[in-house]
Chains A and B, each alone.
Chain A
Amino acid sequence: MVAQARDAAIVGIHEFPSRDVEGALGPLQIKAECAARALEDAGLRLCDVDAIYDAGEGGGMAGLNIAEYFGLKPKVIDTTGVGGSSYEFHAAHAKRDLAANKARVALLTYGSTAHSNAHAIGVGGRGGGGHPADNMDNFAGMTLVANYAMVAQRHMFDYGTTSEQLAEISVATRGHAMRNPEAVKAMEDLEFLDIRETTVADVVGSRMIADPLHLLECCMISDGGGAVVIAAADVARDCAKPPVWLLGAGEATAYPENGGDITTSAAAQSGPVAFGEAGVRPDEVDVAMIYDSFSITVLTILEDLGFCAKGEGGAWVSGGRLRFDRPGDGPALNTDGGGLSSNHPGMRGIFLLIEAARQLRGESCSQVEGARLAVAHGNGGMLGSRHCAGTVILGKD
């Protein structure tokens, strides 16, 4: 094992509890609320923050508008906006900036009212826009879900993966959600039908949205937000909660290519970099927080990160392996309930960091006994089309 650099740690977290603000708040207000709670969690004050990371969902001129709204004059501003993976990129950049002594305390925030805005992310037609490629994509009626569905279709063709295997991901995640009061409340507020633990038969029996993906393989569309405070090592050791170290990080892109293999995501590039920097192996990881926009997203990423070989994900996730109470059997998956059953306001990358930190503090509703290592992997954009991947490896003292 290589020596791990413990130069930056998550010291404060907050997840906005409501998934339906009924139009009463906007993204900036949710971000500010979460920032205050996360700093309180860390035992730090606003004046301690000297670096901000922002994906721009609060409006244009992201670095400037967030600084003014919060009342900050930061020394470091990073406005990397790569969809749901933005927050893994932000954590990676914060680790780099704090290690270089450019700043001492970094603040990441997210806020969205996708549900209140009735924003049909999955089936409203293509997201994005403005990119030259959209010009040739839009006329075919591609929905966002269909991009992911086409990955699943090809994965099934190449490797014999089944809908029943993909359903295991939804089942494990819902099981965790039912243990998380905020996730249960989310499903109630968003008027889910029949809120309970699910079975493989429930998932494959739910209606088809874009073949082969069923309703219960698709994430929800909620309001929400969160904040993460990351501090340099000396600050982190004096904070209110034990530090959750950022041990390694990797970044990558992928996009449609002539002759390319869409069953492999950008995680195949970001994963080895992150694990290499952390000096750990996938089989040592206790908790896997993987962006679950859809079941196939998780299956593909688990393979690409090296938890199992490419094409073997279907068999690997079967038999309840991903449950939190099966330690030693592989990592627990999305122990907060994930985007499938707890919280998906459009860019859920920040919640991956938050729940990973909860696990390593021993604060999760589905606590993995003795959890020491976690991975948070964000996928931004669309699997099967253009997307970014950010992998972060986290560990406790």
Chain B
Amino acid sequence: MADPTRPLPNLRDLDKVQRLTYQQCAVCGTVVFYRRRRCTGCLSANLAWKESAGEGTVYTCSIVRQSYHPFFRGMAPYAVAWIDLDEGPRLVSNVVGVEDPSSVHIGMRVKIRWDEHEALCVPLLEPA
């Protein structure tokens, strides 16, 4: 049996290009993330695509020590976090590239490290 793999998002949100994009309303300025058809501030259709520089701050975090998912069970313990990107979008992801997941903390500066897969890349975070 093949090794369990990370569940991957839909191609519509991410691709191989390694860019994290979000939307911003040209009418009311609301930052919209994940992608929407209409603005979450005013329902305008005038949403412009922007690209994040990929840096942000840990808003909150936890260490998952028990998971029954075949992939994540093998990864535990691992850090999960809500990340406030500097441009405004709040993203949930893993903070990797740390020796001990306990070192991940609120206020920590992080940057995107792309996790490459065959069809797309997913944005994980590592210390900035």
- A residues near B (Cβ < 8 Å) are 120, 123-125, 132-133, 135-143, 145-146, 149-151, 153-154, 157, 207-213, 256-260, 262, 384
Contact partners of A207 in chain B: CB under 8 A = 65
> Is B60 within 8 A of A150, CB to CB?
yes
Give CA–CA (A139, B72) in the complex, Å: 10
Chain B residues numbered 107-128 whose CB sits less than 8 Å from any CB in chain A: 122
> Is A210 within 8 A of B90, CB to CB?
no
> Is B65 within 8 A of A209, CB to CB?
yes
Whether B54 is near chain A, meaning CB under 8 Å from some CB there, is: no
> Is A256 within 8 A of B90, CB to CB?
yes
Number of interface residues of B (CB under 8 A): 40
Q: Which residue of A lies closest to B37 (CB)?
A: A132
> Is A124 within 8 A of B60, CB to CB?
no
Interface 1/0s, chain B 85-105, versus A by CB < 8 A? 000111111100000001000
Contact partners of B49 in chain A: CB under 8 A = none
Interface 1/0s, chain B 20-62, versus A by CB < 8 A? 0000000000010111000000000000000000000001111
> Is B93 within 8 A of A154, CB to CB?
no
User: A150-B82, A153-B106, A256-B90 in contact; A125/B69 too (CB < 8 A)?
Assistant: yes
Interface 1/0s, chain B 58-87, versus A by CB < 8 A? 011111111111011001001011101000
Tell me the total A-B contact number using a CB cutoff of 8 A: 110
Chain B residues numbered 4-32 whose CB sits less than 8 Å from any CB in chain A: 6-10, 12-13, 31
Contact partners of A140 in chain B: CB under 8 A = 80, 92-94
> Is A139 within 8 A of B7, CB to CB?
yes
Chain A to chain B contacts (Cβ below 8 Å), 27 pairs: A123-B67, A124-B69, A125-B67, A132-B35, A136-B9, A139-B8, A140-B92, A140-B94, A141-B67, A141-B72, A143-B66, A143-B67, A145-B66, A146-B62, A150-B80, A153-B61, A153-B106, A207-B65, A208-B65, A209-B65, A210-B64, A211-B63, A256-B92, A258-B88, A258-B90, A259-B88, A262-B82
> Is B80 within 8 A of A135, CB to CB?
no
> Is A150 within 8 A of B61, CB to CB?
yes
Contact partners of A146 in chain B: CB under 8 A = 62, 64, 80
User: A135-B10, A138-B7, A142-B92 in contact; A124/B62 too (CB < 8 A)?
Assistant: no
- What are the 5 closest A-B residue pairs judged by CB atoms, nearest first? A141-B72, A149-B62, A154-B60, A211-B63, A150-B60
Give CA–CA (A141, B122) in the complex, Å: 13
Give CA–CA (A351, B42) in the complex, Å: 39
Contact partners of A145 in chain B: CB under 8 A = 64, 66
Give CA–CA (A189, B35) in the complex, Å: 46
Contact partners of A213 in chain B: CB under 8 A = 62
Q: Which residue of B lies closest to A218 (CB)?
A: B66
> Is B62 within 8 A of A153, CB to CB?
yes
Contact partners of B66 in chain A: CB under 8 A = 123, 143, 145, 209-210
B100 to chain A, nearest CB (A): 12
Contact partners of A212 in chain B: CB under 8 A = 62
A140 to chain B, nearest CB (A): 5
